[in-house]
Amino acid sequence: MIIHPIQDTLQGAAPDSIQASTSVPAQGADGLERVMLADDKLFVVLAVVLIIWAGIVFFIWRTDRRLRNLERTVGSGIPDETI
């Protein structure tokens, strides 16, 4: 396994052949790109986290629906006490 040393390549040479053969447009970023690339691309991470969070919220909601349907079938209710 080749472990490459960590280098800042923001100003220097391209770190690999793919990046060397791809021309990264430095200018002309549209509105979305301007937002996402700001602050060392931190907002890309935020977008990823929000996608995961949306999935978790969906799952919690689905589980609640399943529980509710089961409780109706069995003829029981949600516990009266909240905690």
Partner 1 sequence: MSDWILGSKSGEFAIKRYTIIRNVILVWMTLVLLGAFLLDIPRIVILEHTARNLYFHVPMWFTMMAAGIVSAYHSVRVLASGDPVRDVRASEAARLAIFFGILGLLTGMMWARFTWYLGTGLWWNFDPKQSMAAVQVLIYGGYFVLRSTIDDPRKRSRIAAVYNLFAFATLPFLLYVLPRQMESLHPGAEGNPAFSEITHPIMRVVFYPAVIGFIGLFWILYTQRVRERLLRKKLEYQPEM
Binding residue count for partner 1, defined by CB under 8 A: 27
The binder of partner 1 chosen from 2, 3, 10, 83 (CB under 8 A): 83
Q: Does 8 bind partner 1 (CB under 8 A)?
A: no
Least distance to partner 1 from the beta carbon of 65, Å?
Answer: 10
Q: Which stretch binds partner 1 (CB under 8 A): 7-15, 24-32, 34-42?
A: 34-42
The DSSP element (H or E) to which 25 belongs, if any, is: none
Which of 78, 58, 59, 60 has its CA nearest to residue 68? Answer: 78
Decide: 50 and 58 in contact? Cβ < 8 Å. Answer: no
Q: Is 36 exposed, middle or buried (0-12, 13-18, 19+ CB in 10 A)?
A: middle
Q: Which residues bind partner 1 (CB under 8 A)?
A: 39-40, 42-43, 45-46, 49-50, 53, 57, 60, 63-64, 67-68, 70-71, 74-83
